[in-house]
């Protein structure tokens, strides 16, 4: 085998690996940049390049005026929207999967509509709706929350429905056969088995709500959520602390994924 | 059976289904069914898929409600009772073990729902009974099919139901494990003395385990009785073909002679004991099991009270080890089957040999000719069979 052939063989063997590495790099470069910028000490407010290394941003994340307030606001809305959408969406999913009623398939289809509607359209028409209802003056926390619950709902329904549809009804029959009444059957068997779907739906809702910009932009009144804060400060130069929040969110998500993986592995053992 | 378990009173009770019908839309799954299962019996509901046996079981469990009729358990009407209010437990097909609970909690489920004390001791005893003592902490997904089957059995049995329902419990196991579990199930049933109702489409399984078998077809019970009775004295062509194999030849009743019915079959006179004749006049099917028939070289003298059909030609010989299976063509071009033990007493016949068939009159049975001769024969394909054949 000549050296050329060997090289050719080596490239052939590793080309897929190489492509994968390039794609991963493509995906992670922006995240890496967020982490990097969280340690930036910019010379001017409008600087977008890395100037000097500092830990100040991590030690005093709230030193950027108004940022931590906006994060708290986003977290509040995120948790409440997640709770509302998850509860309502789970109920809808159960109704759609477990009950036969007139208009069931139509409802299933309509549930998809908010997901398919462009967010810009949805945001502006929501504003029109709030204004028509005479609420133009009181836009803020509650209007954002209502909007977020509304668009998270479809995602919850779809996610929980998929889990529920894949659930073998024999588990519930077995529970009933083993002296569990309807209530016990639900809490002891149905709910634990559907729970992974509900949890996934909740996480999805939270992430959708936390970083929603478009719909919020139309309906936020004077309330500043984290995405609104970032957008607003972009005009005057984004404070590096924003990258600290970004990195924290990223680490939190990473921890959740690793944690759930560990739980799954322990269960499988 | 009833007497032998009378001492352990709550362990089993009479189950009675009266005129039970179940319809799904226009489809009648179970049609006006009457059934009585005695206390402590190992009862099998046997039939092909779609015959209504599982629906019957589910109605007893309370998972389906009968369209009409009533179900009584130990003299109490349970027809409309919720499943969790019946002293009945089920071993589901594919087991339906709760995947989010470990083996211990799966077995403990019924006890906990009824608020029973000493869950731990009882579960451990039950796991001992099914030989899975050290598996309590595992999850169902980590167990083999056979182990899951035993957990499902333990989960149901621990509640000491009056009736235990088993829905094709061995269907998912491979043949060797199935044979092993058949013996195991029978042992456990004898040990606990609870009434078992076992639904299966496997005739061998039903015959190995059950005291009484009800053969079901298209929502009705074709015949009910002990395995030997059903096999030796089938009441319908369906039973004669579904339970083992049968040779059915068309005949015409000539009359009665003593305790025998005399039937003409293609020029031969065959005798049939009266108590094995389901029809005593006109056109009939004359049946005999393949292993009851002997082959003899053409023209050989036979015993006086034997039934004989002469002039057959061997068309196919398959050697199975313990036995040899012959296909023989009769003069009226019907093919019959004969199983012969490989005792080595005589050379086997070869294809083309001219032979006579003879068997004891007592092994003959007669069925009504109005029935389809191939009913219940799962190997029969009407498109492939020669015209007029009735194996």
Report all structural domains of chain A as residue ranges with CATH numbers, in order of start.
Answer: 3-57 (no CATH), 65-238 (1.10.3720.10)
SS3 A178: coil
Q: Residue B372 pLDDT more than 60?
A: yes
Task: Using a cut of 0.80, tell me whether the model's pTM lies above it.
Answer: no
Domain boundary among B231, B262, B277: B231
Is B359 inside a domain boundary?
yes
Is B194 inside a domain boundary?
yes
The reply to whether B183 and B308 lie within a common domain is no
The reply to whether B222 and B262 lie within a common domain is no
| Chain A residues inside the 8 Å CB shell of B88 | 177
Residue whose token pair is 């995947």: B99
Average pLDDT, chain B: 88
The reply to whether B257 and B302 lie within a common domain is yes
The reply to whether B55 and B150 lie within a common domain is yes
Tens of pLDDT, residues B160-212: 999 999 998 888 788 888 888 888 888 888 888 899 999 999 888 899 899 99
- In this prediction, residue B11 carries a pLDDT of 40
CATH of the domain at B174: 3.40.50.300
- Flag if A173 and B113 touch (Cβ within 8 Å): no
The reply to whether B215 and B320 lie within a common domain is no
ipTM > 0.85?
Answer: no
Nearest CA in chain B to A181: B84
The reply to whether B36 and B144 lie within a common domain is yes
- Flag if A173 and B114 touch (Cβ within 8 Å): no
| Chain A residues inside the 8 Å CB shell of B98 | 171, 174-175, 189, 193
The reply to whether B218 and B252 lie within a common domain is no
Using CB atoms within 10 Å of the CB of residue A143, give its burial: 0 to 12 exposed, 13 to 18 middle, 19+ buried: buried
Domain boundary among B183, B203, B231: B231
Nearest CA in chain B to A264: B100
Is B242 inside a domain boundary?
no
Is B387 inside a domain boundary?
no
The reply to whether B171 and B225 lie within a common domain is yes
CA A119 from chain center: how many Å?
15
The reply to whether B224 and B291 lie within a common domain is no
| Chain B residues inside the 8 Å CB shell of A174 | 90, 92, 96-98
Which residue of A166, A168, A178, A190 is the best one to mutate when testing the B interface, meaning the one whose CB has the most B CBs within 10 A? A178
From the list B63, B82, B113, which residue is nearest A178 (CB)? Answer: B113
Query: Higher pLDDT residue, B30 or A11?
Result: B30
| Chain A residues inside the 8 Å CB shell of B113 | 178-180, 184, 188
Is B43 inside a domain boundary?
yes
- Flag if B82 and A176 touch (Cβ within 8 Å): yes
- The answer to which of A45-59, A127-141, B55-69 has the lowest mean pLDDT is A45-59
- In this prediction, residue A1 carries a pLDDT of 64
**In angstroms, what separates the C-alpha of B138 from chain A's closest C-alpha?**
8
| Contacts by residues B131-134 (CB-CB < 8 Å, ≥ 24 positions apart) | B132/B103
Is B118 inside a domain boundary?
yes
Q: How far, in Å, CA of B334 to CA of B326, rounded?
A: 13
Q: Is there a contact between B113 and A186 (Cβ–Cβ < 8 Å)?
A: no
- In this prediction, residue A197 carries a pLDDT of 92
Tens of pLDDT, residues A144-164: 999 999 999 999 999 999 999
| Chain A residues inside the 8 Å CB shell of B83 | 173, 176-177
Which residue of A166, A167, A179, A264 is the best one to mutate when testing the B interface, meaning the one whose CB has the most B CBs within 10 A? A179
- pLDDT band per the 50, 70, 90 thresholds, residue B1: very low
Is B14 inside a domain boundary?
yes
- In this prediction, residue B166 carries a pLDDT of 94
The reply to whether B106 and B154 lie within a common domain is yes
From the list A173, A174, A193, which residue is nearest B100 (CB)? Answer: A193
Using CB atoms within 10 Å of the CB of residue B272, give its burial: 0 to 12 exposed, 13 to 18 middle, 19+ buried: buried
Is B166 inside a domain boundary?
yes
Tens of pLDDT, residues A114-126: 888 899 999 999 9
Q: Give residues 126 to 165 of B whose Cβ lies within 8 Å of A.
A: 139, 141-142, 155-156, 159
- Domain around B362: 248-368
Q: Give residues 253 to 312 of B whose Cβ lies within 8 Å of A.
A: none
Composition of chain A by helix, strand, coil, percent to 5: 80, 0, 20
- In this prediction, residue A155 carries a pLDDT of 94
Domain boundary among B171, B198, B231: B231
CATH of the domain at B254: 2.40.50.100
The reply to whether B96 and B215 lie within a common domain is yes
- Helix (H), strand (E), coil (C) string for B44-68: EEECCCCCCHHHHHHHHHCCCCCCE
How many structural domains compose chain B?
A: 2
Rounded CA Rg of chain A: 24
Q: Is there a contact between A113 and A153 (Cβ–Cβ < 8 Å)?
A: no
Nearest CA in chain A to B83: A177
The reply to whether B112 and B258 lie within a common domain is no
- In this prediction, residue B315 carries a pLDDT of 94
Q: Which residues contact B284 (CB under 8 A, 6 or more apart)?
A: B250, B251, B252, B253, B263, B277, B366, B367, B368, B369
């Amino acid at each position: 085998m000549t050296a050329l052939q060997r090289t050719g063989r080596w490239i052939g063997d590793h080309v897929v690996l190489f492509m994968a590495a390039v794609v991963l790099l493509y995906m992670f470069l922006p995240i890496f940049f967020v982490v990097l910028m969280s340690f930036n000490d910019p010379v001017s407010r409008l600087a977008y390049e890395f100037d000097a290394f500092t830990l100040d941003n991590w030690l005093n994340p709230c030193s950027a005026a108004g940022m931590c307030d906006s994060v708290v606001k986003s977290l509040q809305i995120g948790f409440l929207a997640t709770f509302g959408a998850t509860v309502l969406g789970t109920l809808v999913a159960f109704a759609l999967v477990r009950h036969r009623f007139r208009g069931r398939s139509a409802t299933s289809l309509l549930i998809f509509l908010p997901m398919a509607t462009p967010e810009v359209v949805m945001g502006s028409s929501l504003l029109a709706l709030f204004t028509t209802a005479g609420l133009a003056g009181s836009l803020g926390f509650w209007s954002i929350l209502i909007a977020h619950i509304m668009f998270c709902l479809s995602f919850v329904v779809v996610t929980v429905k998929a889990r529920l549809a894949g659930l073998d009804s024999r588990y519930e029959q077995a529970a009933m056969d083993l002296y569990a009444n309807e209530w016990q059957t639900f809490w002891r068997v149905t709910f634990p088995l559907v729970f992974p779907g509900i949890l996934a739906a909740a996480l999805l809702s939270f992430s959708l709500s936390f970083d929603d910009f478009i719909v919020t932009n139309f309906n936020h009144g004077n309330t500043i959520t984290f995405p609104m804060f970032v957008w607003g400060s972009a005009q005057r130069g984004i404070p590096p602390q924003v990258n600290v929040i970004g990195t924290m969110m990223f680490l939190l998500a990473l921890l959740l994924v690793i944690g759930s993986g560990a739980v799954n592995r322990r269960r499988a053992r | 059976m009833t007497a032998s378990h009378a001492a352990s009173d709550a362990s089993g009770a009479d189950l009675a289904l009266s005129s039970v019908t179940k319809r799904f839309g226009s489809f009648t799954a179970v049609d006006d069914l009457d059934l009585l299962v005695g206390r402590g019996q190992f009862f099998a509901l046997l039939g092909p898929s779609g015959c209504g046996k599982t629906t019957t079981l589910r109605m007893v469990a309370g998972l389906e409600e009968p369209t009409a009729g009533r179900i009584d358990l130990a003299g109490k009407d349970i027809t409309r009772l919720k499943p969790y209010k019946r002293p009945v437990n089920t071993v589901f097909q594919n087991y339906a073990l709760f995947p989010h609970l470990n083996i211990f909690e799966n077995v403990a489920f019924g006890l906990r729902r009824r608020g029973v004390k000493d869950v731990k001791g009882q579960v451990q005893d039950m796991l001992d009974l099914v030989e899975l003592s050290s598996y309590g902490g595992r999850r169902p997904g980590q167990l083999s099919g056979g182990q899951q089957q035993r957990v499902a059995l333990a989960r149901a049995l621990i509640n000491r139901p009056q009736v235990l329902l088993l829905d094709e419990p061995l269907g998912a196991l491979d043949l060797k494990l199935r044979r092993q579990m058949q013996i195991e199930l029978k042992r456990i049933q004898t040990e606990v003395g609870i009434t078992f109702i076992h639904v299966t489409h496997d005739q061998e399984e039903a015959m190995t385990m059950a005291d009484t078998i009800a053969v079901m077809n298209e929502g009705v019970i074709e015949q009910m009785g002990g395995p030997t009775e059903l096999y030796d004295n089938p009441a319908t062509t369906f039973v004669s073909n579904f339970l083992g194999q049968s040779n059915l030849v068309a005949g015409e009743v000539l009359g009665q002679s003593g305790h025998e019915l005399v039937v003409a079959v293609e020029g031969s006179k065959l005798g049939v004991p009266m108590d094995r004749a389901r029809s005593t006049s006109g056109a009939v099917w004359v049946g005999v099991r393949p292993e009851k028939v002997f082959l003899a070289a053409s023209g050989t003298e036979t015993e006086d009270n034997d039934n004989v059909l002469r002039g057959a030609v061997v068309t196919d010989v398959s050697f199975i080890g313990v036995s040899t299976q012959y296909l023989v063509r009769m003069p009226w071009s019907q093919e019959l089957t004969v199983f012969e033990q490989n005792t080595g007493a005589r050379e086997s016949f070869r294809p083309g040999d001219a032979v006579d068939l003879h068997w004891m009159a007592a092994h003959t049975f007669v069925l009504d000719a109005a029935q389809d001769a191939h009913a219940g024969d799962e190997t029969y394909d009407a498109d492939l069979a020669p015209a007029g054949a009735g194996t």
